[in-house]
Amino acid sequence: MKVTWLRERHGRRVVTMATATPIANSVTEAHVMQRYLRPDLLQAAGVEHFDQWAATFGEAITEIEMAPTGGGNYRLQTRFSRFANVPEMLRMWHVFADVKTGEDLNLPVPSLRPYATRTAV
C-alpha cells in the first residue's frame, strides 16, 4: 500500500530494493517482488493476481500425504512443483531486476581448512 501511495503521488520510480535471496522460501516471493516493483507488467500480462500468475508460470502436483493429525490419517495436497514458461517469466523479471550471481561478481571466497580427523581418546 505504501509503494502504491508513493507511485500515485510521485510517479512510477519511487522505490529501490535489494535482496540476496529474492526467492528463498517460497515461489510466491517472485510474484510479491514483482507486485512491489512492477505491478504494471503483471497487469499488462493479465497475471496481476497470484492465482493467475501461478497458473501461467507454475505447475502444481497433487499427492497424498500424511495429515498433520498423524495417526494414519492422509489427505490430498496440491503444491507448486516447478516453474513453467520460464523464458517469458524471466523476460518480465529482467525488466525490473538486476540479477547478479556469485560468478558475475567474482567475489573472493575464503579457502577451507583441510578437515582433520579426530582420534578417539
Strand partners, 78: 62
Cell triple for residue 111? 579457502
Q: 53 and 47 in contact (C-beta within 8 Å)?
A: yes
Q: Of 50, 48, 34, 20, nearest to 93 (Cα)?
A: 34
pTM over 0.75: no
- Whether residue 67 lies inside any domain: the answer is yes
Summarised one tens digit per residue, pLDDT across range 79-92 is: 888 889 989 988 99
- Whether residue 86 lies inside any domain: the answer is yes
Q: How much is the pLDDT for 49?
A: 93
Summarised one tens digit per residue, pLDDT across range 69-121 is: 888 899 999 888 888 998 998 899 888 888 887 788 888 888 888 876 666 66
- Whether residue 116 lies inside any domain: the answer is no
- The parent domain of residue 76 ranges over 2-100
